A = this chain, B = another copy of it.
Amino acid sequence: MSIIVQKFGGTSVASVTHIEHVARLIMAARNAGDQVAVVVSAMGDQTDRLDSLANEVDFNKPASRREVDVLLSTGEQITIAVLAMTLMKFGCAARSFTGAQAGILTNSSHTRARIQQIDTGALQNSIDDGEVPVIAGFQGVDEFGNITTFGRGGSDTTAVALAVVLKARECQIFTDVKGVYTTDPRVVDSARCMDQVTFEEMLELASLGSNVLHSRAVAFAGKYQMPLRVLSTFDDTPGTLITIEDESTMEQPIISGIAFTRDEAKLTVLGVKDVPGVAWRILGPISEADIEVDMIVQNVAADNTTDFTFTVSRDDYVQAMDILQQTTGITGIGAREVTGDNRIAKLSIVGVGMKMHAGVASRMFEVLAEKAINIQMISTSEIKISVVIAEEYIELAARALHAAFDLAEDSLTGK
Interface residues of A, Cβ cutoff 8 Å to B: 16, 19, 50, 53-54, 56-59, 61, 63-64, 66-68, 70-71, 73-74, 77-78, 80-82, 84-86, 88-89, 95-96, 98, 101, 122, 145, 147
Which chain B positions have C-beta within 8 A of A59?
A: 85-86, 88-89
Interface of A is mostly: helix
Closest residue of B by beta carbon distance from A54: B85
Which chain B positions have C-beta within 8 A of A54?
A: 81-82, 85
A102 to chain B, nearest CB (A): 11
Closest residue of B by beta carbon distance from A78: B74
Q: Does A57 lie within 8 Å of B77, measured CB to CB?
A: no
Instruction: Report how far A77 CA is from B98 CA in the complex, Å.
Output: 13
Which chain B positions have C-beta within 8 A of A63?
A: 88
Q: Does B57 lie within 8 Å of A82, measured CB to CB?
A: yes
Q: Does B58 lie within 8 Å of A81, measured CB to CB?
A: no
**Contact among B53, B73, B85, B147 with A82 in the assembled complex (CB-CB below 8 Å):** B53
Pick from A68, A71, A101 the residue with the most CB of B within 10 Å. Answer: A71
Instruction: Report how far A59 CA is from B70 CA in the complex, Å.
Output: 28
Q: Does B89 lie within 8 Å of A58, measured CB to CB?
A: yes
Which chain B positions have C-beta within 8 A of A89?
A: 57-59, 61, 64
Q: Does B80 lie within 8 Å of A57, measured CB to CB?
A: no
Closest residue of B by beta carbon distance from A94: B67
Closest residue of B by beta carbon distance from A57: B85
**Contact among B67, B77, B101 with A84 in the assembled complex (CB-CB below 8 Å):** B67
Pick from A70, A73, A74, A95 the residue with the most CB of B within 10 Å. Answer: A70
**Contact among B61, B68, B74, B88 with A74 in the assembled complex (CB-CB below 8 Å):** B74
Q: Does A67 lie within 8 Å of B53, measured CB to CB?
A: no
Instruction: Report how far A57 CA is from B122 CA in the complex, Å.
Output: 26
Query: 8 closest A-B pairs (Cβ-Cβ)?
Result: A71-B81, A74-B74, A59-B89, A70-B81, A67-B81, A16-B56, A64-B85, A67-B85
Instruction: Report how far A147 CA is from B81 CA in the complex, Å.
Output: 11
Q: Contacts A16-B56, A16-B57, A78-B53 given: A88-B70 contact, CB under 8 Å?
A: no
A86 to chain B, nearest CB (A): 6
Q: Does B74 lie within 8 Å of A70, measured CB to CB?
A: no
Which chain B positions have C-beta within 8 A of A80?
A: 67, 70
Which chain B positions have C-beta within 8 A of A53?
A: 16, 78, 82
A354 to chain B, nearest CB (A): 48
Instruction: Report how far A57 CA is from B96 CA in the complex, Å.
Output: 15
Closest residue of B by beta carbon distance from A52: B16
Which chain B positions have C-beta within 8 A of A58?
A: 89
